[in-house]
Structure 1
Amino acid sequence: MKKKINYLLFFIFLFSGIFFGFSQNYQVLYKVSFHPQKDKTDLKTEYMRLETLSESKSIFYNYINKKDSINSKKEGQTPYLRFTVIRENNSCKYYGNFNDLYFVFNEALKTDWTINNKTSEFNGYKVQEAKIELDGRQWTALFAPEVPITSGPYKFSGLPGLILKVYSEDGDYSFEMVELTGHTSESYFHSFQAGKYTAVKKKKVEKFISNFLKEPGARNFTLHNSYGDQFDYSFSGQKDGSYKDMNDYVKGVFEKYNNPIDRKTYILIF
């Protein structure tokens, strides 16, 4: 009888572990490889992390603030991909900043995937292929049905399994999973300051950026470098040497990242 009870307890703990393993929240680290400049071969790599709170809520953000063996970036270096995406049910909120405008806009999630039933293996997982058009690019995703996570990197969502890799077919952007773990107490949800962002329409952000780039020297703005230094520029009202220098400087900065992930609405981070 005692032996039977021990076996019964063993199976209770076994199935409890399986249940909690599938119901717990997750942290997924992605390596993001991208070409910051149009028609250039220079390839950049940054790390971003997806955290899931539930089946219908997640947050995706840059992982540069973590200084470990995975993130080899120098302390204080400013990343290119400084946006945060929070998914809630069938929509997402995109958080970014441009010239001290901390903005957030709402978007409906695109889930009209075309799924290929052909299977293969990727990083030890059985995966299927799916395709979608998003933000002016054609994308291909490899997802693992055995991992019950419908959220994905960036704005990708709605597949019946975790996205292990998704890449634009033009070769400019690629997200690849490098680590999958359970949640820890150090969740980014707890520290993210959503309250400092102003809700605006996506098209308004695009117009704001477009107008700024036409004549940056005629506006007031704050510059930050990768070492944390700050310089405040104020337009004097005269198109003097400072005005011309600022025009040239800012245009040079944007030429270093003129290939943002969103092609439909030209969203840049500055």
Structure 2
Amino acid sequence: MKRIGIIALALFIQQVSAQTNRFVYQVTMKPDAENKADIKTENAYLDISQEKSVFYSENKMKRDSVLQKAFQGGAGRVNISRDLMEGLRSNINYSVEKDKANQKTTFKERIGRDVYSYEEDRPIAWKISSETQKIGEYKVQKAETDFAGRKWTAWFTTDLPYQDGPYKFGGLPGLIVKIEDDKGEYSFDLMKNYKIAEISSMNQFGKPLKVKRTDFVKQQKKFQTDPMSFMTQGSGGISAPMRIGGGRGPGGDGNQNPADMRKRMEERVKEEAKKNSNPIELQ
């Protein structure tokens, strides 16, 4: 009986250690270079397991889940509530995965109809300070770095046994509780954490196209100048017709002139690009 009890305890400890920890960050952004008063705030998850971690938007996960269920519901035209989709808009349209075994960081983001992925090739060099303070319930220590054209100040805690953090940041002796650039345009603040069964699977709607980081940047710039070339071509797009909204009003009529639809779509995509003219990475 004693041996059985020891085995049961060992299995319980193994099960607990195999659980995934979810850290919820509040992300504050000023994505419009011409309108710094336009501040966007949303939540993002950092899910950490024994093998890896994944950072992604809460709204994007919900939005992708709605689309996935809609398209799995049957072929033909799909009707999705415009209000629902508008409520799930996100400025964090990417995910970042860190593999603990090989120390690789993979970035994924959709451009037009395709999802691109690349392996981050720039190591983050930290300068750790002796300065400490208290943020919430955690004693934190200061660290600084220059990364992708911005100067960042991070506060990490050794109270949590994870050398990780939001976005591409990590590699400090503890978990990053807060990190902000020196212009105050992007910040990540840890709000809470809890355990989940496993890391959520990302709905990519197509196999990611693996490219070099420099090629991804080129595609991003091309998309900003000629977005429609990405909407009419691509191997990873959703081929099923979709209508967001419903009814016969503007945007809800399935018999619109294709040229007018293309023009409106192009204007909308260019307007979105303009509103995201101050990206987190400047170089």
TM over 0.5: yes
Q: Which runs of 5+ in 1 are unaligned?
A: 1-12, 68-73, 265-270
Q: Could you say if the C-alpha distance between residues 105 and 227 of structure 1 is closer, same or farther in structure 2, counting changes exceeding 3 Å?
A: farther
Aligned positions of 1:91-240 closer than 5 A = 91-108=104-121, 110-182=123-195, 184-185=196-197, 187-188=199-200, 190=201, 196-216=207-227, 220-221=231-232
Amino acid paired to 2:48: T
Distance 2:276 2:197 in 1: 35
Equivalent of residue 62 in structure 1, options 29, 32, 57: 57
Amino acid paired to 1:169: D
Q: Could you say if the C-alpha distance between residues 217 and 145 of structure 1 is closer, same or farther in structure 2, counting changes exceeding 3 Å?
A: closer
CA contact (8 A) 1:92 1:109 kept: no
What secondary structure does 1:181 align onto? strand
Amino acid paired to 1:35: K
CA contact (8 A) 1:217 1:244 kept: no
Q: Which runs of 5+ in 2 are unaligned?
A: 1-8, 64-82
Structure 1 position 246, deviation (Å): 5.6
Deviating more after overlay: 198-207 vs 136-145: 198-207
Structure 1 position 247, deviation (Å): 5.2
Aligned to 2:92: 81
Amino acid paired to 2:272: V
Q: Deviation per CA, 1:35-71: give whole Å up to 9, x if none.
A: 01014211100110011112x621111111459xxxx
When the two structures are superposed, what TM-score results if normalisation uses the length of structure 2?
0.70
CA contact (8 A) 2:105 2:168 kept: yes
Distance 1:140 1:25 in 2: 27
Aligned to 1:49: 45
CA contact (8 A) 2:131 2:141 kept: yes
Amino acid paired to 2:30: H
Structure 1 position 256, deviation (Å): 1.3
Amino acid paired to 1:45: T
Aligned positions of 1:19-38 closer than 5 A = 25-38=20-33
Distance 1:180 1:173 in 2: 21
CA contact (8 A) 2:244 2:252 kept: no
Distance 1:198 1:104 in 2: 6
The share of aligned pairs that are identical, in percent, is: 28
CA contact (8 A) 2:20 2:199 kept: no
Distance 2:15 2:122 in 1: 28
Distance 2:56 2:208 in 1: 15
Over the aligned positions, Cα root-mean-square deviation in angstroms equals 3.6
Deviating more after overlay: 80-89 vs 214-223: 214-223
Q: Could you say if the C-alpha distance between residues 231 and 128 of structure 1 is closer, same or farther in structure 2, counting changes exceeding 3 Å?
A: farther
Distance 1:108 1:194 in 2: 26
Structure 1 position 86, deviation (Å): 0.5
CA contact (8 A) 1:26 1:181 kept: yes
CA contact (8 A) 1:33 1:44 kept: yes
The count of aligned residue pairs is 235
Q: Could you say if the C-alpha distance between residues 195 and 254 of structure 1 is closer, same or farther in structure 2, counting changes exceeding 3 Å?
A: closer
Q: Deviation per CA, 1:122-178: give whole Å up to 9, x if none.
A: 112111000011111110001111111111100001011111100111111000000
Amino acid paired to 1:173: Y
